[in-house]
């Protein structure tokens, strides 16, 4: 907290700093206010397209354009730590479960704006994406030591979390011939 970055993270230029006068209770309330469906404006340093160009290309030229906010879902946002760094600034560690398309650095920026202190993202660790997570991540050294075959997953492994509909023979034949089928009655939520 206490700084604003042009990239909304620590790699950018910190363009504004302000002494922190934010109490932990204020931080908790601000963070929790971002739970649920929220509107988020993608940052200028992003791969979002605007008139055929990526925003980061425009930002690197010093250009700014109006970017429309998008809806994103924050399923859970937990504060895992509030501490003070060596320069006396408050650092807040978050764990966020969110929809695709969510910019965590923008979430940090928006929390800082809500607190009136400014904020930027210092570090990001993606702990899961779909069925993949850090608990099941292995180093190259581990794979070399134990053999790659011990770490391979079946090709359909990433599909395990996706909703599915089982087709009878008639439905299968219709799909194979490019026809549509009516699955509304048996369709799980999410398809």
The contacts of residue 101 (CB under 8 Å, 6+ apart) are: 70, 72
Domain end call among 90, 107, 125: 125
How big is the CA angle at 29 (ends 24 and 31), to the nearest 5 degrees? 95
Do both 9 and 41 map to the same domain? yes
Q: Is residue 181 part of a domain?
A: no
Domain that residue 145 falls in: 133-176
Domain end call among 89, 105, 125: 125
Do both 118 and 59 map to the same domain? yes
pLDDT (tens digit, 9 = 90+) per residue, 150-183? 989 899 888 877 777 788 899 899 989 999 887 7
pLDDT exceeds 90 at position 78: yes
Do both 117 and 80 map to the same domain? yes
Q: Is residue 183 part of a domain?
A: no
For residues 33 and 134, give the distance between their C-alpha atoms in angstroms, rounded to a whole number.
28
Do both 67 and 145 map to the same domain? no
Do both 19 and 92 map to the same domain? yes
Q: Is residue 161 part of a domain?
A: yes
CATH of the domain at 107: 3.30.2350.10
Q: 127: which strand partners?
A: none
Amino acid 29: pLDDT:
96
Strand, coil or helix: 191: coil
Rounded CA Rg of the chain: 22
* Side-chain half-sphere CA neighbours of 3 within 13 A: 21
Question: How many structural domains compose the chain?
Answer: 2
The contacts of residue 79 (CB under 8 Å, 6+ apart) are: 27, 28, 31, 92, 93, 94
Do both 11 and 39 map to the same domain? yes
Amino acid 16: pLDDT:
76
For residues 173 and 175, give the distance between their C-alpha atoms in angstroms, rounded to a whole number.
5
How big is the CA angle at 60 (ends 58 and 63), to the nearest 5 degrees? 45
Q: Is residue 191 part of a domain?
A: no
Do both 68 and 114 map to the same domain? yes
Do both 138 and 80 map to the same domain? no
Amino acid 37: pLDDT:
96
Q: Is residue 186 part of a domain?
A: no
pLDDT exceeds 70 at position 79: yes
pLDDT exceeds 90 at position 136: no
For residues 42 and 10, give the distance between their C-alpha atoms in angstroms, rounded to a whole number.
17
For residues 30 and 42, give the distance between their C-alpha atoms in angstroms, rounded to a whole number.
20
């Amino acid at each position: 907290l206490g700084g604003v970055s042009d990239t909304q993270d620590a790699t950018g230029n910190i363009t504004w700093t302000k002494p922190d006068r934010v109490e932990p209770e204020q931080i908790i309330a601000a963070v929790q206010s971002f739970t649920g469906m929220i509107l988020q404006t993608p940052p200028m340093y992003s791969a979002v397209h605007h008139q055929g160009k990526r925003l980061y290309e425009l930002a690197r030229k010093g250009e700014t354009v109006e970017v429309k906010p998008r809806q994103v879902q924050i399923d859970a946002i937990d504060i895992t730590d509030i501490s003070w760094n060596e320069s006396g600034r408050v650092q807040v560690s978050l764990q966020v479960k969110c929809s695709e398309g969510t910019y965590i650095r923008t979430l940090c920026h928006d929390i800082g704006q809500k607190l009136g202190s400014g904020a930027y993202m210092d570090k990001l660790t993606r702990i899961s994406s779909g069925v993949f997570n850090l608990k099941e991540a292995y180093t190259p050294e581990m794979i070399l030591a134990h053999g790659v075959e011990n770490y391979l997953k079946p090709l359909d492994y990433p599909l395990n979390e996706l909703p599915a509909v089982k087709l009878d023979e008639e439905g299968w034949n219709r799909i194979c011939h490019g026809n549509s089928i009516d699955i509304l009655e048996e369709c799980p939520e999410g398809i």
